[in-house]
Each structure stands twice: as structure tokens, then as C-alpha cells.
């Protein structure tokens, strides 16, 4: 699990079995949720930051953070 930042203009969205950052203006644009590099939704491991794309991204309300899980 890892804490990640949600940038302005993006939301986190599950596509198939993984969770990505997508542009709010154009949901067909998919980005790495860690480094926000443009990637393809079939990507398993980001070629820029070398992190695995998480299965799930959820909001942890107690401390107002987004958590990525299933990327170990």
C-alpha cells in the first residue's frame, strides 16, 4: 500500500482490473497514478517510475489520503 496524491484535473478510476488516474476532461486519457506519466491502460508497470499499477485506489477518510493497494 502506498499513499498517493490526486492532482487537480484528474480522478482515479478502475479500468478492467487496475486503477489509474484519468483526466476529468477526457476519460480516455490514462495516466500513472504515481507520477502522472501518460500510459496505456494495458500497462502493468509504469515505464517512467517503474511502479506497478495498483489494483485498487481508495480514499481513507480518517486522514484524507488516497491509498493505492495491490501494487506490491
Check binding of 34 to Zn ion (CB under 5 A). Answer: yes
Nearer to Zn ion, 16 or 62 (CB): 16
Nearer to Zn ion, 14 or 45 (CB): 45
For residues 24 and 45, give the distance between their C-alpha atoms in angstroms, rounded to a whole number.
Answer: 23
Q: Which member of 49, 59, 65, 69 binds Zn ion (CB under 5 A)?
A: 49
Q: Which member of 35, 55, 66, 67 binds Zn ion (CB under 5 A)?
A: 35
Nearest to 37 by CA among 24, 58, 51: 51
- C-alpha distances (whole Å) from 56 to each of 7, 12 are 17, 9
For residues 47 and 29, give the distance between their C-alpha atoms in angstroms, rounded to a whole number.
Answer: 16
Per CB under 5 A, residues contacting Zn ion are: 32, 34-35, 37, 46, 48-49
Amino acid at each position: 500500500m502506498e499513499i498517493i496524491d490526486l492532482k487537480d484535473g484528474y480522478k482515479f478510476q478502475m479500468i478492467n482490473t487496475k486503477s489509474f488516474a484519468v483526466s476529468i476532461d477526457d476519460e480516455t486519457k490514462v495516466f500513472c497514478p504515481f507520477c502522472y506519466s501518460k500510459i496505456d491502460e494495458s500497462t502493468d508497470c509504469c515505464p517512467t517510475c517503474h511502479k506497478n499499477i495498483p489494483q485498487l485506489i481508495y480514499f481513507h477518510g480518517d486522514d484524507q489520503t488516497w491509498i493505492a493497494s495491490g501494487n506490491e
